[in-house]
A = this chain, B = another copy of it.
Amino acid sequence: MPTIKYYIREGLLPSGTAISATQAEYDRAHVERLRLIRALVEVGRLSITTVSELLGALDAPADDPDDDPDERLGRAVATTHRALSARPVAGAPPPERALAAIATLGWQVNPQSAALRELESALAALEMVELTPGEATLRTYAGAALTVAEAEVIGLPSESAAETLRTVVIGTVMYEPVLIALRRLAQQHVFSSRPRR
């Protein structure tokens, strides 16, 4: 298990307040930040670089009073998607399949979005093996994704902007494995409970 010192050295965690030559004091914010890093790195298996970008999205100062909270959340979501995306955007061909799919759905998304590149690459792979989704399949998946996204926005805490931001960024990252695991378990359930032929 990486040590606190390692996270401090990597710039993920601020150093504590020195109380002697060999001891430092950590406050509640430190402990919470450490727990978040451990959840992302040790359980979520994200790279230090990715976690560093995510923490950057959380720490971005909101010092501009004209900065619209919704726009700030939108930017944090975009940063989160970029941090999670393994694929470099520069030099990639335009995500034509993904743009066509999103146009079919009538969704408003950023055409430069890292998530659009992820969708493109997933659709390109499906095309290679002749399993391209038809419109009905696309709508089923999109409907499921939208249900989840809408519930997330409705469930956001509204007490403080910082808390909302934390829930959006961390929730985006950490609910993906929940969705994937539940889809696999749903497959098992459907296969085990469908009528025998």
- Inter-chain contacts of A43 with B (CB < 8 A): 121-122, 124-125, 128
Provide the A140-154 mask, 1 if CB < 8 A to any CB of B, else 0: 111111111111110
Q: Does A47 contact B (CB under 8 A)?
A: no
**In the complex, what's the smallest C-beta–C-beta distance from A118 to chain B, in angstroms?**
4
With the chains together, A142 CA to B148 CA distance in Å?
Answer: 10
Q: Does A115 contact B (CB under 8 A)?
A: yes
Decide if A122 touches B185 in the complex (CB within 8 Å): no
Provide the A67-109 mask, 1 if CB < 8 A to any CB of B, else 0: 0011001100110010010100000000000100010000111
With the chains together, A188 CA to B150 CA distance in Å?
Answer: 11
- Inter-chain contacts of A16 with B (CB < 8 A): none
Q: Does A129 contact B (CB under 8 A)?
A: yes
Whether A183 contacts B188 in the complex (CB less than 8 A), given A43-B121, A148-B140, comes out as no
Decide if A177 touches B113 in the complex (CB within 8 Å): no
Chain B residue nearest to A151 (CB atoms) is B140
Decide if B176 touches A180 in the complex (CB within 8 Å): yes
Q: Does A162 contact B (CB under 8 A)?
A: no
**In the complex, what's the smallest C-beta–C-beta distance from A142 to chain B, in angstroms?**
5
Chain B residue nearest to A123 (CB atoms) is B178
**In the complex, what's the smallest C-beta–C-beta distance from A157 to chain B, in angstroms?**
10
Binding site for B on A (CB under 8 A): 35-36, 38-40, 43-45, 69-70, 73-74, 77-78, 81, 84, 86, 98, 102, 107-110, 113, 115-116, 118-119, 121-126, 128-129, 131, 133, 136-137, 140-153, 155, 167, 170-172, 174-194, 196-197
Return 20 A-B CB contacts under 8 Å, by A number.
Answer: A36-B129, A69-B197, A70-B191, A78-B188, A84-B184, A108-B188, A118-B181, A123-B178, A131-B167, A136-B151, A140-B147, A141-B175, A142-B182, A143-B147, A144-B182, A145-B186, A148-B183, A149-B190, A150-B190, A176-B183
